[in-house]
Amino acid sequence: MGDLKFKVALSGDFRMPDGSLTYPDFDLEPLRKAPGLEMTFLESNNPLRADQLEDFDALILLTHRFVSTSVPKSGRLAVVARFGVGYDTVDVEACTAAGIALVITPDGVRRPVAVSVITFMLALTGKLFTKDALTRKGPHGFQERSQHMGVGLVGRTLGSLGIGNIGAEVFRLAKPFDMRFIAHDPFADKKVAAELGVELVGLE
């Protein structure tokens, strides 16, 4: 009869050296509970080795590399799913030649990365690190806080190189700050830019 289970491999970097999950919030229950599906964590090898993947139908790849020598000879591997965006860790031509579908997860990183951008923007304009250091100095340091007031955002300009999936989300999150939005992106969707109130400008 053969192996009727659909076997999914997760690259070894999904687990820490102690066996705990690298990202505990990443919900693996749908994979664990799916009928007819078997999930396995690979040993941590970077790049992945072909012999690790001979008996799998799908691979979920975190940051480890999938190169031409990672393609299993069995021909069973049907899909490589990048946990993230971009193909810089995957040999696209090798996947194409082997008939392996390659997919990414743009919605999985769009909001978290955009939130990180806004977090850094607020930390820098509010001089958060300086204020943290002053607070840790006690009353003497705290008295100096007025010398490090930071910069307000209303009326300031927020510029972005790129207004794709993540860039557009940054502008959505920044909307309440009443800033002027500009972006440079030769491939921008002009309709999306207009909806977000973003003025498309040249690189300079």
Let me know whether 124 and 80 are in one domain: no
Please report, rounded to a whole number, the percentage of residues in the chain having pLDDT higher than 90: 60
| Residue 1 within a domain | no
Amino acid symbol at 135 = T
Q: pTM, whole model, 2 decimals?
A: 0.69
Here the CATH number for the domain that contains residue 42 is 3.40.50.720
What's the CA gap between 38 and 129, in Å, rounded?
46
Let me know whether 15 and 64 are in one domain: yes
The pLDDT assigned to 3 comes to: 56
Let me know whether 64 and 92 are in one domain: yes
**CA-wise closest residue to 59 among 131, 6, 120:** 6
pLDDT digits (tens, 9 = 90+) for 53-66: 999 999 999 999 99
Judge whether residue 73 has pLDDT over 90: yes
What's the CA gap between 37 and 80, in Å, rounded?
16
Beta bridge partners of 6: 37
Domain count, the chain: 2
Let me know whether 80 and 115 are in one domain: no
pLDDT digits (tens, 9 = 90+) for 143-162: 777 777 788 899 999 999 99
For CA atoms 182, 186, 192, 195, give the dihedral sign. positive
Strand 37-41 to 6-10 pairing = parallel
Let me know whether 100 and 112 are in one domain: no
The pLDDT assigned to 131 comes to: 84
For CA atoms 66, 68, 73, 75, give the dihedral sign. positive
Compute the chain's Rg from CA coordinates.
Answer: 23
The whole domain housing 87 covers 6-104
Q: Determine the straight-line distance between the first and last CA of the chain, rounded to whole angstroms.
A: 64
Tally of residues, the chain: 204
pLDDT digits (tens, 9 = 90+) for 17-50: 888 998 888 888 888 888 999 999 999 889 999 9
Other beta carbons within 10 angstroms of residue 18's beta carbon come to 5
Q: Which of 44-58, 103-117, 133-147, 160-174 has the lowest mean pLDDT?
A: 133-147
Indicate the residue among 104, 122, 142 that finishes a domain.
Answer: 104
| Residue 194 within a domain | yes
Which uninterrupted H or E stretch holds 160?
strand 157-161
- Pick 2 or 165 by higher pLDDT: 165
Judge whether residue 106 has pLDDT over 50: yes
